[in-house]
Chain A
Amino acid sequence: MKAFSNLLSDLILTSSRNRKLSLLEQYFSSTPDPDRGYALAAITGSLSFKNIKASFFKDLIKEKQDEHLFNLSYDYVGDLAETISLLWDQEKGGNMPRLSSLFENLKKAKNDELRNHIINILNISTADQRWAFIKLFTGGLRIGVSSRLVKQALANYGNVDLEEIEKIWHGLHFPYTNMFSWLENKGSKPKISIYDIFHPMMLAHPLVMEKDLAAANPKDFVAEYKWDGIRVQIVSHSEGCRLYSRTGDEVSKSFPEIIKIIQGNFVLDGELLAGINNEPKTFNDLQQRLNKKAPSEKFIKENPCFIKVYDVLFFNGDDLRDKTLIERKKVLNSFFSTNRSPMFLSKTIEFKDWRFLDKIRDISNKQIHEGVMIKSVSSPYIAGRPRGKWFKWKRNPKNVDAIIMYAQRGHGKRSSFYSDYTFGVFNKEKELVPIGKAYSGFTDEELNRLDKFVRSKTINRFGPVREVEKTLVVEIAFDGMSLSNRHKSGIALRFPRFKRIRWDKPTNEVETLEQIRKSFLG
């Protein structure tokens, strides 16, 4: 438990990815089984405790500390686990148990013993240990470590590819002893059923027409829309269905209504989109769903989702990954000859020449897509990003001029620079309203100059945010615009970034919100 609480304290305060990785590796190498497995499960959010809620700890501390003083402290700290850990009396000394025995003892304890057990642990621990301990119960460690980062640390630790970890991850069992012994070259790679495996996805290269396809025969390729949702792998077998994201994270729990319906024996590849009856809505709409880990039925009804399927890896026990794309598409076509809602076939686009596709990819009004995909008909399904097989041809970005309104400091290397900018345009009432935030697209030199601009033109401060004189116009590139009632401007931009800084441009030449809405949303 000591090592684990040190690890959490270090992780929460570390912003550098590399340092987080090395902290995790150090922990895995210096902690024995099964404790490191418990820690791994805790960090990736798969360790579940008995039904002890935050209120249990609140009641405990109120017995020891005056309620009014507790409330004042909680107000100030803002985090329950930390407030209690600091208010609890200083440690009494004693042997803090190992993480695994701590956990098992609590699991075994009967309800009436549990309370004393927990009090005892709080008594013998330091403030940091109490904090880590209470965090374990009250759910969500919130230490800024994604499960992907943990997998990367495991890959580094065992000197294997991240892909290999991702592949077997969902078939591994707590406390991961066989995985650690494999990573330490003491045992063989854990054996896992193909339906417990996430199969790393085949990815596309951004298309450079002149270089990649100008000389190619369009007949050797198929084209599809590049949907603006999230890529998912659908793994279905007799025991149920799972959805994995592109990085191998299981996202099934966020989409219970979808996995409930899907039946069969296959592994498919497709795009998860917001919308109903094969009519996609914007990415912004999908975002609402992605933010909810356990959506209510009502919420699901109001924000329905479906999947456009474009590839198949396994079907009824057959591995199709070595077949050509055309053969795989045939399997899909026949599968989708009956209604498979909420799954739909992502139809291919008929085309004769590249110019036709070039036009299609840029048609923006109300078509919810990001451009087109061009795939070689003969391509097998190869994990990773093989050359010359699949291409993504994104829409040309759109541009809009806007005025810098606020700036905030960046993180890590950029923490001394004002590098995150909020920009806006004028609405009907001649009021400047924010339309987005961007923190990329400029050179280091430009960043230096922007930083100076922010520092010398600050007119107001709100905590870490600086409001600046509304004098600087920037040209923003973005991939799409959609309506949004979450923003005052009523619009949301997809992936905005700086294109040019218009040091010379007067702000009264910037198009108004109305004009922008008209030209991009019709």
Chain B
Amino acid sequence: MISIDNKLYIRDIDTYIDPFFPVERAIITHGHADHARAGHKHVLCTPETSEIMKIRYGENCASSFQTIKYGHSVKIGKISVTLYPAAHILGSAQVLLETPKHKIVVTGDYKTILDRHLDPFEVVPCDLLVTEATFGLPIFKFNKPEMEIMRLLDNISKNRENTFLIGAYSLGKAQRIIWLLREAGFSDDIFVHGSMDKLCDFYQSKGIRLGTLRKATLDNKKDFKGKIIVAPPSALKDRWSRRFENITRCYASGWMQVKQRAKQSQIEIPLVISDHSDWNELTNTIKQTGAEKVWITHGREDALKYWCEKNGIQAEPLSLQHRDETIEL
């Protein structure tokens, strides 16, 4: 028997998945701050995720780490825990909780399209699927990221006088954008915001080629003409950006699918590149896992819940579950 509640607490083994408060035992799907927090006692995750947590929160961010590679299992009590690639960022994992009779999969954040710098997403058949739904509306259908990068490079070649400031999350998105630029043949130095250079080094150490990166410091203002600077989205319009002249603001995110959003945030080049699943990826994954029951978290639950029910699958937003309402399989 496995029981799990709406805080993703598994009672039988006294373990939480991605808890946002310090706990005794935690399984961490990936290193983003809304999933990985400092202060847990025992953490189970992939080797990459543990390294990322240590870079971000310090060596002692948890009392002990137990790491397992993709496809490997550990047994805790009666339950076997296996981590599978989620292709969201480096080290991101789906969690399979398994007894001989039952299977629960918690996806964490994921995407299913092929992204060659990460291990490919694997569909894990299960009875209960706990899925994210960040882009859970049918308007979200993402183009190939390579096309978006081409559009950016085309723009740069036409506007050599401008400085291209790309907003991208410091962990994962920034490195993916840089990697995509390198894959597209962009060999010029790329400048990065101070908050992401350690994480870029980490990616490079894992064999992901990011080329020559330099810090976006003020040594030489003219240096930035026609250059690409990658910074966290919050820095795009903040005081930090005042050091550059003639800025063209770009933002790499699934949210950029909607022009009105881009316009409101004064983004001139929206790059619709997401590390999350779009509508088709979400619905396909739900179908392929064969889950009878779906819990939806992190995003726009109503549309996906509606879709599930129309397709004969029970679905519930995780937030609506009561604390003590546990599902027992």
Listed in ascending order, the chain A residues whose CB lies under 8 Å from chain B are: 9, 12-15, 65-66, 68-69, 72-73, 76-79, 82-83, 86-87, 90, 131, 409, 411, 415-416, 451
Distance in Å: Cβ of A375 to nearest Cβ of chain B: 44
Interface residue stretch chosen among B51-59, B102-110, B259-267: B259-267
Query: Does A73 contact B263, Cβ atoms closer than 8 Å?
Result: no
The answer to whether B239 has its CB under 8 Å from any CB of chain A is: yes
Known: A86-B141, A87-B139. A15 touches B268 (CB 8 A): yes
Could you write out 6 A-B pairs with CB less than 8 Å apart?
A13-B259, A15-B268, A76-B139, A77-B258, A86-B141, A416-B239
Query: Does B303 contact A9, Cβ atoms closer than 8 Å?
Result: no
B262 to A, closest residue via Cβ: A13
Query: Does B260 contact A78, Cβ atoms closer than 8 Å?
Result: yes
- Interface residue range, chain B: 20 to 34
Query: Does A82 contact B303, Cβ atoms closer than 8 Å?
Result: no
Distance in Å: Cβ of B160 to nearest Cβ of chain A: 13
Query: Does A415 contact B266, Cβ atoms closer than 8 Å?
Result: yes
Known: A68-B306, A415-B266. A79 touches B257 (CB 8 A): no
Query: Does A90 contact B137, Cβ atoms closer than 8 Å?
Result: no
Distance in Å: Cβ of A20 to nearest Cβ of chain B: 11
Query: Does B306 contact A416, Cβ atoms closer than 8 Å?
Result: no
Give bound CA distance, A86 to B258, whole Å.
9
Distance in Å: Cβ of A130 to nearest Cβ of chain B: 12
The answer to whether B328 has its CB under 8 Å from any CB of chain A is: no
The answer to whether B242 has its CB under 8 Å from any CB of chain A is: yes
A84 to B, closest residue via Cβ: B139
A411 to B, closest residue via Cβ: B266
Name the residue among B238, B262, B263 with the largest chain A CB count within 10 angstroms: B263
Distance in Å: Cβ of A452 to nearest Cβ of chain B: 9
Query: Does A415 contact B237, Cβ atoms closer than 8 Å?
Result: yes
Among A15, A73, A77, A409, point to the contact of B260 (Cβ < 8 A): A77
Distance in Å: Cβ of A215 to nearest Cβ of chain B: 47
Distance in Å: Cβ of A145 to nearest Cβ of chain B: 13
Give bound CA distance, A86 to B259, whole Å.
11
B307 to A, closest residue via Cβ: A69
Among B241, B259, B300, B302, point to the contact of A12 (Cβ < 8 A): B259
Instruction: Specify which chain B residues have a CB less than 8 angstroms from the CB of A83 in the assembled complex.
Output: 139
The answer to whether B270 has its CB under 8 Å from any CB of chain A is: yes
Beyond the given pairs A13-B269, A416-B237, A416-B239, 10 more chain A to chain B contacts, judged by CB atoms under 8 angstroms and listed by A's residue number, are: A12-B259, A69-B138, A69-B303, A72-B300, A72-B303, A79-B260, A86-B257, A87-B139, A415-B237, A416-B238
Distance in Å: Cβ of B250 to nearest Cβ of chain A: 10
Q: How many A-B contacts are there with CB distance less than 8 Å?
A: 64
Among B138, B259, B302, B310, point to the contact of A9 (Cβ < 8 A): B259
Instruction: Specify which chain B residues have a CB less than 8 angstroms from the CB of A79 in the assembled complex.
Output: 259-260
Contact with A along B219-258 (1 / 0, CB 8 A): 0000000000000000001110110000000000000011
Give bound CA distance, A83 to B258, whole Å.
9
Distance in Å: Cβ of B191 to nearest Cβ of chain A: 18
Query: Does A86 contact B139, Cβ atoms closer than 8 Å?
Result: yes
Among B241, B242, B270, B303, point to the contact of A13 (Cβ < 8 A): B270
Instruction: Specify which chain A residues have a CB less than 8 angstroms from the CB of B266 in the assembled complex.
Output: 15, 411, 415
A452 to B, closest residue via Cβ: B239
Give bound CA distance, A415 to B257, whole Å.
22
A86 to B, closest residue via Cβ: B139
Give bound CA distance, A26 to B60, whole Å.
57
Query: Does A416 contact B302, Cβ atoms closer than 8 Å?
Result: no
Contact with A along B303-328 (1 / 0, CB 8 A): 10011001000000000000000000
Give bound CA distance, A77 to B242, whole Å.
31
Give bound CA distance, A72 to B299, whole Å.
13
Instruction: Specify which chain A residues have a CB less than 8 angstroms from the CB of B303 in the assembled complex.
Output: 69, 72-73
Query: Does B138 contact A65, Cβ atoms closer than 8 Å?
Result: yes
Instruction: Specify which chain A residues have a CB less than 8 angstroms from the CB of B258 in the assembled complex.
Output: 76-77, 82, 86
Query: Does A73 contact B139, Cβ atoms closer than 8 Å?
Result: yes
Known: A69-B303, A78-B260, A79-B260. A416 touches B241 (CB 8 A): yes
Known: A69-B306, A72-B137, A73-B137. A13 touches B268 (CB 8 A): yes
Give bound CA distance, A79 to B258, whole Å.
9
Instruction: Specify which chain A residues have a CB less than 8 angstroms from the CB of B239 in the assembled complex.
Output: 416, 451
B303 to A, closest residue via Cβ: A72
Instruction: Specify which chain B residues have a CB less than 8 angstroms from the CB of A82 in the assembled complex.
Output: 258-260
Query: Does A90 contact B141, Cβ atoms closer than 8 Å?
Result: yes
A8 to B, closest residue via Cβ: B259
Instruction: Specify which chain B residues have a CB less than 8 angstroms from the CB of A13 in the assembled complex.
Output: 259, 262-263, 267-270
A81 to B, closest residue via Cβ: B259
Query: Does B241 contact A87, Cβ atoms closer than 8 Å?
Result: no
Among A131, A411, A415, point to the contact of B259 (Cβ < 8 A): A131
Query: Does A76 contact B137, Cβ atoms closer than 8 Å?
Result: yes
A74 to B, closest residue via Cβ: B139
Give bound CA distance, A13 to B270, whole Å.
9
Q: Which 7 A-B pairs have the closest CB atoms?
A: A86-B139, A73-B139, A72-B303, A13-B268, A69-B138, A416-B237, A73-B137
